[in-house]
Amino acid sequence: MTEDSPAPAVRRLPGTPLRARVRNVLRAVKRRSRRARPLPAWADRRTESDRLTVRSGRLAIVVDTVGELLRLASAPASEPVTGIDLTVRSWVRPWPQWIGRTPPVPGLLRQEMSLPDGDGPAALGWTVAQPIASRQLLMAALSVLSPIRPLPATLTADVYVDGDRPAWLPIGPAYHAAEARRPDGGPLPAYDLVVRGETEGLVLVDAAGAHPRGRQETSVTLPRAELRMSAADDGWTWQVGRPGRADVVVAGRAGEALDERQTAALAQVGLATLTGDPAPGRIGAGVLAQLAMTGLVLSAPRLPLEIRAHLHEELVGCLTDVPGDRDPLDREVHGVVQRRAALRHHASALGLRAVAAERHPTSSRLPGVSAILVSRRPDRALAAAAALAGQTYPELELVVGLHGHQPTPAQVKQLEALPVPVRLASFPAATGFGEVLAETTRLASGSLVTKVDDDDHYGPEHIWDLVLARLHSGATVVGKGAEFVYLEPFDTTVRRRMGGELYTDVVAGGTMMISRGDLDEVGGWRPVSRSVDRALLDRVLAAGGLVYRTHGFGFLYTRHDDGHTWDPGVEYFLHDPARRWAGRPPYREFAAGRPSARESAA
């Protein structure tokens, strides 16, 4: 090439080696065998006898799963007891190093606990000085045995339950049973919000039981099924079964929390079409919202008006208009949109904020999120800030730290014109990256902080995805994987084979979200120039916390020629991709701006 010859705008992609092509063929055969895999048969092994008894003032419980314990905590019956003896026959840690958190138990005198190394029985015994409501001990036990953690908030309403505790009410210390009284027998002080049975309007579901954890395969590669609802002597039931057959894949009772066996079985189903007459009103709406929160794609084109009245219009749009199979990724994207709509509008931890909004508007606000952007490239930083300003999450601020650069007046003006609050600081080039990141984070005002990079691309729902992942996973750190990679020199995007909706030990550094309190508790960002992201993950895991990777849609990891702190070479990302596009993927999840109302409901 001579000096006068124009340089090629896009480099040629290297060819795929023979070994990789053979591996691609073998994996394709494996995927086809998965499609032919039969749906599992469902057997409800629950028994009602000897599950919960009170002996000598102590609560004795034997259950098969933590999900059954969640159901008991949602039951209306609760009486004062002086201790609890609990056995969970089948229990496994979400991650080998994880340790649960024991919440404050008033008057705790003795605590005994035996947990298995792998899958096995877990036993817990507590003794308290004075009798307390049995439900309070059940809620405490759930915090020890499952990763239940509330979303952070600067102000939360203290909720009092007048009557039976609804199953959708999330587990947490701010919720009190109606039978609780002061030691002198008088009533408890006034509460910010009183819940009497069901709330009006949208149905609410506790995300502690209804979640997409474990759903790693796409809805297209998984079998289809039918959703049926039927009336029983003790209420309504639902069944997911084989199309046109009476076989049941998984079943449950309307209004009852899901357990681990049910969510695992639902994760093996791709799409379920509602057939027959659904349960009426709130009951049917509750079943649909609960199942949609698990990531199961639901199709209900003829949804009755009495059910629509209790579902948010965004979720109704997802249920009534499911895309066809022309592009398999369309169905997969639709499943992500549907589960997001169900969690965002029907998860009780978020829905209660709306219930309390009229009396306490500040308590209804979502947790504030601060997006931390540290960059040595002002032009890329400004472009990234402008793109992040298009996020749909309403409580967002940007905190920009320029490393080795002073912003110009024009750059400051450009940042101040963005439609979200922006905090800006600059640091000397000699300061280590970890120190700059720590000082930039110190400027943040959000309860949650998320690290973003100046060269990656974030779809408009990215922040919402992280907040919802933290809600249903209870993890200390949540993030996405570098599943979709844009190779800038080749103007090509590849999709790597990477699982999502699981506990792991790695997420992409430019997607990590953690609360300010948890960040401080593990010692903050390390003051080093490299491996800052890995150091934080290692600290969290060493402290017994969890790292969770949600789906990869909405995050486009970018490789370019401007330099990377970690650079294995472009061939690393071209090895056996699941899919490849010229340019960026043409899906709304990767759009740069806010989606329209129609796109949000589609």
DSSP string, 246-293: --EEEEEETT----HHHHHHHTT--EEEE-SPPPPHHHHHHHHHHHHH
Residues 254 and 336 in one domain: yes
Same domain for 313 and 400, yes or no, is no
Looking at the domain assignment, is residue 136 inside a domain?
A: yes
SS3 242: coil
Q: Are residues 328 and 377 in the same domain?
A: no
- The per-residue pLDDT for range 523-575, each reduced to its tens digit, is 999 988 788 999 999 999 999 999 999 999 999 999 876 554 545 566 666 77
Among candidate residues 340, 226, 216, 331, the one with its CA nearest the CA of residue 268: 216
Domain count of the fold of the chain: 3
Considering the domain architecture, whether residues 404 and 525 belong to the same structural domain is answered as yes
The verdict on 575 and 467 lying in the same domain is yes
Higher pLDDT: 35 or 577? It is 577
The answer to whether residues 408 and 513 belong to one domain is yes
Under 8 Å CB-to-CB from 79, ≥6 apart: which residues?
54, 133, 134, 179
Q: Do 521 and 425 belong together in one domain? A: yes
Rounded CA gap, 479 and 547, in Å? 8
- The pLDDT, as a whole number, for residue 390 is 94
Say yes or no: 474 and 588 in one domain: yes
pTM: 0.88
Which of 346, 380, 409 terminates a domain? The answer is: 346
Three-state SS across 77-125? CCCEEEEEEEEEEEECCCCCCCCCCCCCCCCEEEEEEECCCCCEEEEEE
Amino acid at 287: V
Amino acid in position 107: G
What beta strand segments (E) does 417-506 contain?
Answer: 422-427, 448-452, 457-458, 477-479, 484-487, 492-495, 502-504
149, 168, 183: which is the final residue of a domain?
A: 149
Find the domain containing 244 and state its range. 224-346
What pLDDT, in 10s, does the model give residues 90-121?
999 999 989 888 888 889 999 999 999 888 99
* Gap between the Cα atoms of 347 and 432, Å rounded: 41
| Domain-embedded: residue 546 | yes
Give 46-99 pLDDT, tens digit per residue. Answer: 554 447 788 888 999 999 999 888 888 776 667 889 999 999 999 999 999 898
Domain closes at, from 149, 175, 193? 149
Same-domain check for residues 406 and 338: no
pLDDT digits (tens, 9 = 90+) for 417-465: 999 999 999 999 889 999 999 999 999 999 999 999 998 999 999 999 9
Nearest of 311, 599, 350 to residue 468 by alpha carbon: 350
- Is the confidence at residue 597, as pLDDT, over 60? no
Tally of CB atoms within 10 A around 107: 11
Asked if residue 34 has pLDDT above 80, the reply is no
* Helix (H), strand (E) at residue 582: strand 579-582
CB 220 within 8 A of CB 269: no
Tell which residue, 476, 503, 512, 554, has the closest CA to residue 214: 503
Residue % of the chain over a pLDDT of 90 = 53
Are residues 373 and 336 located together in one domain of the fold? no
**Whether 355 contacts 347, CB under 8 Å:** no
* Model confidence pLDDT, tens digit, residues 124-164: 999 999 998 888 888 889 989 999 888 887 766 677 776 66
**What distances in angstroms separate CA 113 from CA 82, 126, 136, one per listed residue?**
17, 9, 18
User: Do 421 and 501 have their domain in common?
Assistant: yes
Q: For 336-383, what is each residue's pLDDT tens digit?
A: 999 999 999 999 888 777 666 666 666 667 899 999 999 999 988 999
Q: What's the confidence (pLDDT) of residue 190?
A: 63
**Quick check: 488 and 560 in contact, CB under 8 A?**
yes
